[in-house]
Amino acid sequence: QGSHKYSGMVEDCCCEYETVDHLNEEVLHPLLQDLVKTPFFRYFKVKLWCDCPFWPEDGMCRLRDCSVCECTENEFPETFKKPFYHGLSPDNPVCQEGKPEAVVDRTIDAKAFKGWIVIDNPWTNDDETDNDDMTYVNLQLNPERYTGYTGPSARRIWDAIYTENCPKYPSQEFCQEEKILYKLISGLHSSISVHIAADYLLDEATHLWGQNLTLMYDRVLRYPDRVENLYFTFLFVLRAVTKASDYLEQAEYDTGNSVEDLKSQSLVKGLLHNSKLQAACPLPFDEAKLWKGQSGPELKQQIQRQFRNISALMDCVGCEKCRLWGKLQVLGLGTALKILFSVDGQDNLVHTLQLQHNEVIALVNLLNRLSESVKLVHEMGPAVEKAVGVP
Ligand code: FAD
């Protein structure tokens, strides 16, 4: 059974499957695709150094496609650089994906984030303070796709996430908030699997890439709850973005390229003030219902701790490109959690909410990844079922 069979309200959300598919196809997906290509949103600051606090690094990445292409000096926005930055070494190595790669630009300067603050996100483990381990990565050169990362290393990360930090809720035993944490992680996991299946190395010898329909079915489509959790996560993150709309609208999108920066600004506006979205799905998720019980504050701290552990686990992902996208997407989820749950006062967030440059980039890129996955699941569903012989 494929995605077209999903109908009615997305569980724990306020929109229907058909509405989500329609809005995504018509409005959100095209808009987000353009937005993530703008310079402001395509560079992500990340510490790719594997600093796993739980197990020794085991280097499980077996394909060259795991390697991340770091930014060349030329393409890197001027405003992200330190003043008096000196050039690169002339003998730049060639990027492992066949594109030119340069020495990593590690000059992370607070001035790069004009109008943006550096403040700890209580939901994540990452230390965002600038230091020499930080790298800027051009996300457009590093698509999330099949990397060959599999086996015990990958398995133990997912196992640790699910068993220790985010157990699958057995029926009614877990409270709503625990259930939501599980669904967010499961939805993200579905999205990662969809991207692996949609961009798969079909033939290593001829380097042929394409869709792996069987994998898409085996990992995601045959489990309705995984598809449902993907839609849930998409709506949850969409709600966070719309809730932060005043803040995001007033933020400075400055990379020194005024034409491109105006484009970022106008696309952000288009996303936040979209009449079709507001008419069809004005409240994608209702966060006001949560943390209401007596143990609310305690529960929030506990779930925050669990999520921080999941964030720390991303440093144990033994494949560089998977680690990049794992860190980005967990930071994006942590940012959505922060917007929805860590700021007091429901309205006027512009005075109380503080986001880092990198959090905004992670949030928008996560929303785009989820939007791509929802579209792929919706579109590929029937073909996948036909290919695997589902009656
Ligand atoms: P896995 O996907 O490893 O799943 C493990 C178990 O989790 C399953 O057996 C099932 O019980 C459960 N499970 C699976 N999906 C869900 C779900 N949606 N909800 C709830 N439970 C579920 N590989 C790449 O090729 N490219 C990448 O970019 C990439 N990024 C990764 C990022 C992270 C953070 C991690 C931990 C791994 C990443 N991997 C990536 C590896 C990939 O996710 C798989 O682990 C790997 O392909 C092996 O898949 P598997 O069939 O063993 O099942």
DSSP string, 164-192: IISPPP-TTSS-HHHHHHHHHHHHHHHHH
Nearest protein CA to atom 2 of ligand 1, as residue: 193
Enumerate the H helices of 72-175 as residue ranges.
152-159
pLDDT tens-digit profile of 344-360?
Answer: 655 556 667 888 888 99
Contacts of 122 (CB under 8 A, 6+ apart): 304, 308, 338, 342
**What percent of the chain clears pLDDT 90, i.e. is strictly above it?**
43
Residue 184, both tokens: 């967010």
**Which of the 8 DSSP states describes residue 109?**
-
CB of 311 closer than 6 angstroms to any ligand 1 atom? no
- Identify the residue whose C-alpha is closest to ligand 1 atom 18: 190
Nearest one of 325, 289, 326 to 311, comparing CA atoms:
326
Q: Would you tell me how many other CB atoms lie within 10 Å of the CB of residue 79?
A: 18
Q: Is the pLDDT of residue 271 over 90?
A: yes
95 closest CA partner among 75, 121, 112, 122: 75
What the block records as the tokens of 191 is: 């999205």
Contact in structure between 97 and 324 (CB atoms under 8 Å): no
Probe ligand 1: pick from 163, 192, 226, 373, max atoms within 8 Å of CB? 192
Contact 380, 198 (CB under 8 A): yes
Confidence of residue 107 (pLDDT cuts 50, 70, 90): very low
CB 231 within 8 A of CB 225: no
pLDDT of residue 161: 92
Kindly provide the ipTM of the predicted complex, given to two decimals: 0.99
pLDDT at 90: 30
Instruction: Give the pLDDT confidence of 240-258 residue by residue, as tens digits.
Output: 999 999 889 988 898 888 8
- Tell whether ligand 1 has an atom less than 6 A from the beta carbon of residue 147: yes
- Please compute, for residue 141, the number of CA atoms within 13 A of its CA located in the half-sphere on the CB side: 21
Q: Report d(CA 264, CA 135) in Å as an integer.
A: 22
Q: Can you tell me the distance from the alpha carbon of 345 to that of 372, in angstroms, rounded to the nearest whole number?
A: 32
Which residue, among 187, 173, 175, has the nearest Cα to 299 in the 3D structure?
175
User: Looking at the predicted structure, is the pLDDT value of residue 299 above 90?
Assistant: no
CB of 157 closer than 8 Å to CB of 316:
yes
CA distance 342 to 344: 7
Which residue numbers are catalytic?
Answer: 319, 322
Residue 64 to residues 60, 70, 207, 391, Cα–Cα distance (Å): 11, 14, 12, 39
Tens-digit pLDDT profile for residues 60-105: 444 445 556 666 656 656 555 433 222 223 333 222 222 222 222 3
- CA-CA-CA-CA torsion sign (124, 129, 133, 138): positive
Q: Which two tokens stand for residue 263?
A: 């484009």
Q: 317 in ligand 1 pocket by Cβ < 6 Å? A: yes
Q: Which helix or strand (DSSP H or E) is residue 112 part of?
A: none
156 is in an annotated binding site: no
Distance of CA 315 to the CA centre of its chain: 16
Residue that is written with structure tokens 């785009």 in the block: 368
Cα-to-centroid distance, 82 and ligand 1 (Å): 38
Chain-centre distance for alpha carbon 164 = 22
For the CA of 330, the closest atom of ligand 1 is: 34
pTM, to two decimals: 0.86
Residue 168 has which token pair?
A: 């699958």
